[in-house]
Amino acid sequence: MTPKKHDIELIRDFKSGNAGAFEKLFEIYHKRLYGFIFGLTKSKPDSEEIVQEAFVKVWENRNHYNEVYPFEAYLFKIAKNAFINHNRKQINRRIFEKNFEIFTEMTSNSADGQILFKETQLIVEAIINTMPPKRKEIFRLQKLEGLSRKEISQKLSISLVTIDSHLMKANQQFIAGLKKSGVLVTFILFVNI
């Protein structure tokens, strides 16, 4: 059996849900993929997480894989997207933490500041809670958990158009609620619309 024929059979077995075939593909590509991702992240834990996420996505989306497309290219494309999403989430988290620290410093130096901070938290939570359930869920997934529109679409099995519609309305409702409540300070997390 030629290696090419063996690869084709391995891919077909993988597509049909054969876990053993998937494990063999993992063994074949894991080190190369890890090296590629480590070259981008320079972080062992981040690289391991991204590689694991990529292989999980490959397994979950095996029915969508087209056998004429080289498997390695398919795997590396998914890993590259996982890397980009991972970085976006890290950046969003750092921006939120930095701005949250600044806001906390501004408000925690006095009793009045602490009261303002707690009131602002309550106002933000109250505004979010007035949203219809699906809009609230989508808003929280994007703004608080840092998921991309595509990730939300996949997680909730909703089209991107529907996600965009919910996010647009949620952002409008959130900003209107802040204005109505007289809250002048907003987190950059929510301004980045």
Domain spans of the chain, in order of start: 3-87, 110-191
**Whether the predicted pLDDT of 178 surpasses 80:** no
Residue type, 98: K
Residue range 65-121, pLDDT digits in tens: 888 788 888 999 999 988 888 877 777 666 666 666 665 565 555 565 566 667 777
Cα–Cα dist 165/172, whole Å: 11
Torsion of the alpha carbons at 159, 160, 163 and 164, rounded to the nearest 10: -140
Mean pLDDT for the stretch of residues 137-148:
85
Q: Residue holding tokens 């056998």? A: 67
What CA–CA distances, in Å, run from 168 to 52, 62, 134, 142, 165? 33, 33, 13, 12, 5
110-191 has the same fold as 3-87: no
What number does CATH give the domain 110-191? 1.10.10.10
In percent, the amount of the chain with pLDDT more than 90 equals 19
Q: What is the pLDDT of residue 69?
A: 82
Task: Determine the Cα–Cα distance for residues 15 and 25; give it in Å rounded to an integer.
Answer: 11
Summarised one tens digit per residue, pLDDT across range 18-49 is 888 899 999 999 999 999 999 988 889 889 98
Pick the CATH number of 3-87 from 1.10.1740.10, 3.30.70.20, 3.40.50.10260, 1.10.10.10: 1.10.1740.10
